[in-house]
Amino acid sequence: MRSLRLAIIMAVALSFVVAAALIGCEASTQTSASDESKAEAHESETSRDEAKIQSAMSAAPISIAKDARIVDYPEKLGQPLIELRKGANGWTCFPDWQATPGKDPMCFDKMWMQWFDAINTATDPNIKHPGIAYMLQGGSDASNTNPFAMKPKKGEEWVSAPPHIMLIVPGKLDKTFFSTDHHSGEPWVMYAGTPYEHVMIPVEEEIK
């Protein structure tokens, strides 16, 4: 009888041990799966950031892009830019903007970054000396005349610019010297007559 009770006690104890082992194994499996999921998410985010960095670098000559600061657009207007990579040469490059139909990565010098900050806050840029920007993959703009347009007017199309360099200078541009026709194949003025006017200088033929 005593041996029977002992056997029963041992059987119950063994069942608890097995149950605890199974629970521990399940918890370990869940933790492992969670860790793998986090690792995959991190790897995916890293891949996306790397793709954006490569996109941004394609906007300018490699001599500029390789040491440029790389930033991404914020999720909401008014939020700060998202830094993807620190820079060392005073240039700032942006990846393709998903809000437009064409490719439009760009690289700005310091004066162009002042212009960028001004247009995003609807204030006048303080242009003290000429500034250069590169868009060697081309550009896609909602308007050639309205700097705040987010989409073309009804019946109009997006302005698809060929690969180009952009120039800003202090003061007003001479309208008799530069055209505003973005189909001319020659340098033209975008946003003419506004504080954000600048010269677009094509380096390739217009995208048809």
Share of the chain above pLDDT 70, in %: 78
pLDDT at 125: 95
pLDDT at 174: 87
pLDDT at 75: 86
pLDDT, tens digit (0-9, with 9 covering 90-100), for 82-137? 999 999 999 999 999 988 999 999 999 999 999 999 999 999 999 999 999 999 99
39 is a domain residue? no
pLDDT, tens digit (0-9, with 9 covering 90-100), for 63-97? 999 999 999 999 887 889 999 999 999 999 999 99
82 is a domain residue? yes
Residue-range definition of the domain harbouring residue 128 = 58-202
80 is a domain residue? yes
Question: How many domains is the chain partitioned into structurally?
Answer: 1
SS (H, E, C) the chain: CHHHHHHHHHHHHHHHHHHHHHHHHHHHHHHHHHHHHHHHHHHHHHHHHHHHHHHHHCCCCHHHHCCCEEEECCCCCCCCCEEEECCCCCCEEECCCCCCCCCCCEEECHHHHHHHHHHHCCCCCCCCCCEEEEECCCEEECCCCCCCCCCCCCCCCCEEECCEEEEECCCCCCCCCCECCCCCCCCEEECCCCCCCEEEEECCCCCC
This prediction has a pTM of 0.77
176 is a domain residue? yes
**176 has a pLDDT exceeding 50:** yes
51 is a domain residue? no
pLDDT at 19: 42
